[in-house]
Amino acid sequence: MRILLVGDYPNDPRLGSTKVFLKLQEEFRALGHTCDVLLADTLGALPRNRHARQLLEPFVALRAVRRAFRESGPYDVVDVASAEGLWLAALGRARLLGAAVVSRSNGLEHLNYRRMLDDHEAGLWRKPLMKRWWYPAVRLSQVEMAARLADRLIVLNEGDRDFALSRRWKPYAAVDLVPHGVSTKFLTDVPAVDRPRGRGILFCGTWDHMKGVHYLASAFSRLVAQGRCSNLTVLGGGVPETTIRQSFSVEAQRHVTVVDRVSEDEVIAAYRAHDVLAFTSSYEGFGMVLLEAMTQRLPVVSTPVGCARSLVIHERTGLIVPCRDPEAMAAALARMLDDKARRTALAERAFDLVRGMTWTRSAIATLAVYERAREVHGHH
């Protein structure tokens, strides 16, 4: 099969959405398929204005895909993220593209927009009036139409699937839930359950409101004020260290270690050295960090978003706390740090649950979606 993956993501394999495409490409090729990837650098730098980019992104993607068809020959399937697939799906529906089109959501933007409005109401940031009408009118409408017109829709979690079905974007049979996986290196020499750790709490992810960083900082500052002086490592924040440190109380800042984005091997080493993962997001399409941590027998305290809804069973494979509740997060982290037996039991059951979730399995499931998409496309 000839496959083209398309997404307006930076060409940086350390970033989640980009990593997904690159891992799938690697697996597809290993399984004997041809797979090419178009990312932001290939789609083109223009237009640079963010609002203009949102408006024209489907045209930008269409132009880049047509160029890829001319230069590399026809593809059987175009798997395109979010709004970028609008005109590709429309041409596919009209049988003018010559390929099945799969619309992919690496996080449903409608639900993330709700999260942004909640952040506005919580006083975390100000959402100007223009953004309140421009983004839904332009971007969200494009995402919806791309999903409606595509041959199939891939989502990553049950909440996103339920939303798409409730809006009648697609019938149930045309929406596929395909979770992400981990690289084989995550499952090589996995640390024993009794491995010495001792580095304290780990937060791994971009330092932005979607990740619940305001609530993480508040929770950790509470712990320090209570005399709990465990270390917190913030890994891969992607913003200046001073921005991260200023989020914490002055006392708590002395116990915060900030590490920039690093290689996959160094991320694995961090999972294996810390005692508990703090996953504080208020929305996630999937939440790969959570899955990766669980494969390393790192116990997790998580909000019920993304893959946590299916992977983190409270008091069995981790601890669940409500979104936007720093007091509950602080209490759960303290429970984990105080009880090694609890950490060990939760981490072992979590490992048993996720040990089979590899990128190979994700790729095989995705290929099955492509076959169904080609069948649907043939009947249009």
Q: How many beta carbons lie within 10 A of that of residue 171, not counting itself?
A: 8
pLDDT score for 130: 64
pLDDT score for 17: 87
- The answer to whether residue 217 scores a pLDDT higher than 80 is yes
Q: What domains can be seen in the chain, in order of their start residue?
A: 2-181+359-379 (3.40.50.2000), 184-354 (3.40.50.2000)
Report d(CA 258, CA 238) in Å as an integer. Answer: 10
Please, which pLDDT band fits residue 52 given cuts at 50, 70 and 90?
Answer: confident
Across the chain, mean pLDDT equals 93
Overall average pLDDT of the 178-193 stretch: 89
Q: Which residue has the higher pLDDT, 132 or 227?
A: 227
Overall average pLDDT of the 174-185 stretch: 94
Q: How many beta carbons lie within 10 A of that of residue 271, not counting itself?
A: 23
pLDDT score for 228: 84
pLDDT score for 273: 96
**Nearest CA-CA partner of 293 in 267, 319, 315:** 267
Tokens representing residue 335 in the block? 């429970």
pLDDT score for 46: 66
**Nearest CA-CA partner of 78 in 3, 176, 168, 184:** 3
SS3 per residue for the chain? CEEEEECCCCCCCCCHHHHHHHHHHHHHHHCCCEEEEECHHHHCCCCCCHHHHHHHHHHHHHHHHHHHHHHHCCCCEEEEEHHHHHHHHHHHHCCCCCCEEEEECCCCHHHHHHHHHHHHHCCCCCCCHHHHHHHHHHHHHHHHHHHHHCCEEEECCHHHHHHHHHCCCCCHHHEEECCCCECHHHHCCCCCCCCCCCCCEEEECCCCHHHCHHHHHHHHHHHHHCCCCCCEEEECCCCCHHHHHCCCCHHHHCCEEEECCCCHHHHHHHHHHCCEEEECCCCCCCCHHHHHHHHCCCCEEECCCCCHHHHCCECCCEEECCCCCHHHHHHHHHHHHHCHHHHHHHHHHHHHHHCCCEHHHHHHHHHHHHHHHHHHHHHC
The C-alpha torsion from 204 through 183 and 287 to 156, rounded to 10°, is: 170
pLDDT score for 311: 97
Overall average pLDDT of the 292-311 stretch: 97
Overall average pLDDT of the 200-221 stretch: 97
CA 219 from centre of chain: 23
Q: Is 200 left (phi over 0), alpha (psi -120 to 50) or beta?
A: left
Q: How many beta carbons lie within 10 A of that of residue 254, not counting itself?
A: 12
Query: How many alpha carbons lie under 13 Å from residue 166 in its C-beta half-sphere?
Result: 8
Overall average pLDDT of the 155-177 stretch: 96
Report d(CA 4, CA 36) in Å as an integer. Answer: 5
Burial class (CB in 10 A: 0-12, 13-18, 19+), 2: middle
- The answer to whether residue 204 scores a pLDDT higher than 70 is yes
Q: Which residues contact 167 (CB under 8 A, 6 or more apart)?
A: 144
Task: Confirm whether pTM is higher than 0.85.
Answer: yes
Tokens representing residue 306 in the block? 């993304």
Interior angle at CA 57, CA 359 and CA 239, nearest 5: 65
Q: Are 284 and 343 in contact (CB under 8 A)?
A: no
- The answer to whether residue 279 scores a pLDDT higher than 90 is yes
- The answer to whether residue 126 scores a pLDDT higher than 90 is no
Report d(CA 229, CA 216) in Å as an integer. Answer: 15
- The answer to whether residue 47 scores a pLDDT higher than 80 is no
